[in-house]
Structures are given as C-alpha cells and as structure tokens.
Amino acid sequence: MKMKLKDKTLVIWVACIWFMITCSSCSRPVSDEQSPRVLLPWIENGQYHFRVVELRTMESLKSLRGSVARFSVGVNGPEPIVRALRRSDGVFVPTDPMSQNLLSLYANLERLAELDDQVGVGYLLPRPWKISINTNIVNENQRRLHNNAQYDADRKMIEFTSFESRGDLPLTVNAGAIAHEHFHALFDVLVPSPASLQDCSAMEADQIAARREARLRELYRVRLLRAMNEGLADVWGWIHSGDPRFVARSRPEDGELRSLEKGIQPIWTAKQFSDYNRAEGFCPRRSDQDFVYQLGNQYGLAFQWAFGSKDRVPVAHVVIELLRKLKKDIMNFPDGDELKPALLIENLARQNPRQCPFLISILQPKDQSELTWQCWETL
Amino acid sequence: MIWLFFVVSLNTLAPSPARAAEAVSQPLAEDPKDEFRWAFSLAADVRWERISDQSVEPRALPSVALGWGVRPWLFLGEYSYDEAESEGSAILNIRRRSRSILFWGQYQVWELRRLTPFFSGGLGARQEKVDSVLYSESRTDEGRWLDQYGVGLGLRFSGLDPLWLSLEGRVLFCGDFEPNPQFGTYLRLGFFF
Ligand SMILES: [Zn+2]
C-alpha cells in the first residue's frame, strides 16, 4: 500500500513538472495585443459613461507604449505599469485607478492626435508625445500642487500632478482638460513665445525704478498672449470633449471663472487689460493671475456663442487659422504695443465675415469702430 | 486542462474507502506517520504585487486548504480570496477582487527531529473581478480564468502532532500578475486527521 502510493505520487509529481513546463506558454500576457479594446470612463454628448474604446495605436498595454504617447512617472522616472483584466469577450478592464487614468489619458491623446491630423497640424508635434504623471510641481510658495496639470515648454512634456481624491473627476480622465494641455503644445509651436522675463525677485530698488515701464510692457505682452493661449486652450478642450463645463468637473474652484456655458462677456480694451496688469505690480508673486484667465474666458465665450451649435471640427480649423495669423501679427509688431485684446476678435471676424455683427457686438465701443470698418470692407 | 489533470490525479491518488480503511487498520511497524492521512489548513497567503501608486507591496489573502499526505508527500488543494478596498474618489472608483485555486504537491527532502524542509510545486487557476463606479453608474466585470503555477521552498514544524505549522517561500506565475513572477510567503496552521 505504502509503496504503491509512493510510486503513483512520484508519477504525478513528474507529470506535474512536465505540465508546468509545457503550460508556461498557456497564459498569454495582457500586453501583446494590437489595438486592444478597453473599458474606460468616456465622454459622450457631454456626459461620462463607461464605454469600450479601441486604442488603435497601442503597442503594449502593460507598459502603455504606443505611437502617440510615452509615459513616465515623474519627468525622469520609469514607465508606469498598467494592470487590467481581460474579459471573455477580449475587452480589457483596468483594475486600479492609476491604470484607469493612464489608459483614459492615452485614449484621449490618441483622439487628439487624430484631430491634429484632421486640421493639418499633425506634423507639428513629433510623436510619441511625452507625458509625465505624478509629477512634482510646486507653486510660487514652494508648495506641492495636487490635481493640476501643465505643459512644460522646455521639456516639451505634458505634466500631471498626483490626484487627490476629492470627489472630482481626475484630470487624466477629463477629456477637456487633456485637450487643454495638448493645445498649449500646439500654441507653443505655432505662436512665437516672447523672450522669458528676467527674474525680478533679487532686483535692487534702483534697478526696479529704471526698468519699471519696460518691464510692465513686457508683462503686458506676456500676459496678453497667455490669456489668448488659455482661452483658446479651453476652446480646444470644448472642441475635443463637447463639454463646456469641463474645468468645473475637476477643479470646481475655477469652474465658474472658466465656464463656457454662461452669458457673453465683452472683450476688454487694451487700457482695461493694462490697468489689471499694472495693478499686479512690477514683480508679482503669482504667475497665473485670475485676470489672465478672465480675458481668456472672454475669448472662449466668444467662440462658444459664435460656433457653439455647429460641428466642432471646423471650429478647430478656425482656431488654427487664428494662431497662424497671430504669429504674423507678432512678427509685424515686435514691440507688442499694437497687440490688444480685441486683436483676436478682429482676426476672427476677418476669417468669418458672417460672424461680424456678433463679434462687433462683444467689443467695447472704443474697439468697435475699427472692426466695423474692417467688416464693411470684407463684406 | 488543469481541472482534468486534477481529477485524474485525484482518482489515481485517493485510495478507495476500502484501501483507506486497510491503511488505517494495518499500522506500519516502522513509523505510524507513514500512513495515509487527511490534512486541513488555514493560512495567510502573502503576495507581493503592484498597487495603484506603482510600488510593489505585500498583500495578505486568507486561504484554506484540504488534502492528504503520505510520507514523503503532502498534496493540498488551496483556495485564496482577495477583496481590496475601493480606491479612487467618490465619483470614480475601483475595487478589485480575485480568487485563486492551486493544487500543490510538497515533497520532503529529509526529516529532522521536528523540522521538515520541503520543496513544493503547484498549478491551478486564478480569476479577477473588478467593481467600477462612475458618477451614478456602477458595474462589475469578470476576467477569464487564467492558469497559474508556482514553486516553493518551505519548512514544516510538526512537533505537536496532529497539528503542524509551516512557512513557505513561493514564486508564482500567471499571465495577469504584475509583477510576473510574483513572490509570496505562505504561513500555514494545519492538522492531520
Ligand atoms: Zn492652461
């Protein structure tokens, strides 16, 4: 009895080892499927639902490698790793929040790349784009930011901070927010950025006095372009997502300021914008002042009211044309004195003469006369 | 395939009631512990796996096992269940669940007075489920059963017969493990009957 059992168990033991060796190829890893389909939080008709999304350019799901984007944890960190289960119908379902965020981010970037191609700017930003998650970004008080994102023009990288679960939609899932950051990359290559400002924190009083006016002019130019950049980036966010309140979904504190679903606001005159600029002082501590976003939102609302009910892809064409024209204007006015908030609206009117009456109506009386004249000429 | 293999091995190995009775009724002169004995155990199945923040952390799963032993072998069928805390925010969160069945064979190399070192090899299957919530929508998705297998090295303490304790270091392989292979330890309290 004892011997018999031993003999049999030995046979089973050998069979076990043989089975393990031959079966080592049974479980295919999750990573090597081309164009995987993934269940993700996805926006449709302005609402988020779980949807199966095909990642057409994905090469490795597990290390999130595809022709559109490459990811790192921190700006110089390792590639993140995605965990997902595979349903019997072949659809992958992320099994932790980070994986869900990353896959949703990739899916949105893929659609944004398609939009770039559709409007003829696909060649501008070499792919794969660089994306950093869990990035350590600090504010002017050296406090680490959470639930935030930025486009880093020096590194040519979109950077997301870590997400603190506060009951809001993570930025990496928010289609509008992802498109907003991507637009900054487009703006950066299409519109020449002004020379970076000299660091003012260590300047002596007499240096400040000598440079005050020149510095304020520089600040005016930098902030006006920033307002245009931020405003049009929110328009790009709406074009991609169809969601005019995408900011509020992830950053409720900025939601009202940047909502594209409110009454039209008249565009500030150069004098009004300059007054806000001066009020911030020579060496402001904060870099992203509300008044910059306020003017940006005036641009955003102008787009929303003029084109909001139409197919969104042609609006993307309009935005790109506007950037190309802005580039010419900046080259023509190197000192920036002629740059004024109404410039963007004037250019928009020239490109879209049918919108002239509406666009004139949102300018202040001082800026209206010039645009009226231009519109008459075009018509 | 695994199931078929197990059923075959079960039929081959499990003695018929008559033979089992024979084994019990004919004590072996040299050592009574050489007879066929059923075994049961409760354990903490600790596995090192990647978590949402990308680090690799240990996770302890409760595990039960049932099997039989006849020296130098011990065969056990193990079931481990894992249900993670829900992660994410109030409007978008994920909870992961997994269950794992493994059939192990332990072979003792030599027997010291009370400590018995052993090698082990196991194979089985594993399934993951995930509960996802987005705003007011919630859903559960089930993964396919995936083969998993492993090898281990352990030490069994059996000074309090029929109770025994064992600690085993394991390397487990499965297509959806991250990292794969996965390292683990298995701390078990068992008894023979
Ligand atoms: Zn921005």
pLDDT band, residue B4 (cuts 50/70/90): very low
B82 Rama class: left (phi>0) / alpha (psi -120 to 50) / beta: beta
Collapsing DSSP to helix, strand or coil, A90 comes out as coil
What is residue A10's predicted lDDT score, i.e. its pLDDT?
Answer: 60
The predicted model scores a pTM of: 0.86
Residue A1: list chain B partners with CB under 8 A: 15, 19, 22-23, 26
pLDDT at position A176, please?
Answer: 97
Task: Give dist(CA A110, CA A338) in Å, integer.
Answer: 38
Of the candidates A29, A41, A126, A39, the one whose C-alpha atom is nearest the C-alpha of residue A81 is A29
The pLDDT value given to residue A339: 85
Asked if residues A159 and A90 have their Cβ atoms less than 8 Å apart, the reply is no
CA dihedral sign, ordered A181, A185, A191, A192: positive
Over residues B44-85, the pLDDT tens digits come to: 999 999 888 888 999 999 999 999 988 889 999 999 999 988
Pairing of strands A92-94, A69-73: unpaired
Inter-chain residue contact A97 with B92, CB threshold 8 Å = yes
Which residues of chain A are within 8 Å of residue B91 when distances are taken between CB atoms?
A: 167-169
CA–CA separation, A163 and A148 (whole Å): 8
pLDDT at A311: 86
- Answer yes or no: do B178 and A62 touch at CB < 8 A: yes
A27 token code pair: 């479980």
Cis bond before residue B162 (omega within 30° of 0): yes
Q: Which of A20, A86, A134 sits opposite B121 (nearest CB)?
A: A20
Name residues whose C-beta falls within 8 Å of residue A87's C-beta, 6 or more positions apart in sequence.
A93, B141, B142, B143, B144
A5: helix, strand or coil: helix
ipTM above 0.90, yes or no: no
Q: Which amino acid is at B77?
A: G
pLDDT in tens, B85-110: 899 888 999 999 999 999 999 998 88
Q: Report the gap between the CA of A95 and the closest CA in chain B (Å).
A: 6
Shortest distance between the Cα of B119 and any Cα of chain A, in A, equals: 11
> Considering only CB atoms, which chain A residues are within 8 Å of B75?
9
Which residues in chain B touch residue A50, judged by CB atoms under 8 angstroms apart? 132, 134, 137, 139
Number of other CB atoms surrounding residue A140 within 10 Å: 11
CA dist A41 → A44, B87, B104 (Å): 10, 15, 40
d(CA A313, CA B92) in angstroms, rounded, equals 29
Residue B158 confidence class, pLDDT cut points 50, 70, 90:
confident
Where b means 16+ CB within 10 Å and e means fewer, B15-27 reads beeeebeebeeee
Test the A interface: residue of B11, B126, B141, B174 with most A CBs within 10 Å = B141
Distance A151 CA to ligand 1 centre (A): 8
Q: Which of B134, B151, B170 to mutate to test the interface with A (most CBs of A within 10 A)?
A: B134
Measured CA to CA, the distance from residue A226 to residue A220 in angstroms comes to 10
- Please report the domains of chain B, with CATH numbers, ordered by start residue: 36-192 (2.40.160.20)
Stretches in chain A below the pLDDT threshold 50 = 1-3, 25-27
Contact A93 B132 (CB under 8 A): yes
CA distance B88 to chain A (A): 6
